[in-house]
Chain A
Amino acid sequence: MEEKKLAIIATKGSLDWAYPPFILASTAAALGYEVQVFFTFYGLQLLKKKLSLEVTPLGNPGMPMPMGMDKWFPILGMTLPGMQAMMTAMMKKQMKDKGVASIEELRELCQEADVKMIACQMTVDLFDMDQAAFIDGVEYAGAAAFFEFAGESDICLYI
Chain B
Amino acid sequence: MADFNQELDASGLNCPLPILRAKKTLTGMESGQVLHVIATDPGSVKDFDAFAKQTGNELLDSREEGGKFFFRIQKS
A interface, CB within 8 angstroms of B: 23, 26-27, 30-32, 98-101, 109, 112
Would you mind naming 21 contact pairs between A and B with Cβ atoms under 8 Å apart?
A23-B16, A27-B19, A30-B16, A30-B20, A30-B23, A30-B51, A30-B55, A31-B54, A32-B54, A32-B55, A98-B14, A99-B14, A99-B17, A99-B40, A99-B41, A100-B14, A101-B13, A101-B14, A101-B17, A109-B20, A112-B24
How far is B24's CA from A155's CA once the two chains are assembled, in angstroms? 23
The residues of B with any CB-CB pair to A shorter than 8 Å are 12-17, 19-20, 23-24, 40-41, 51, 54-55
The residue on A at minimum CB distance from B15 is: A23
Task: State in angstroms the CA–CA spacing of A109 and B15 once bound together.
Answer: 13
Chain A residues positioned under 8 Å from B55 (CB to CB)? 30-32
Nearest A residue to B22 via CB reads A30
| A112, chain B: closest CB distance, angstroms | 8
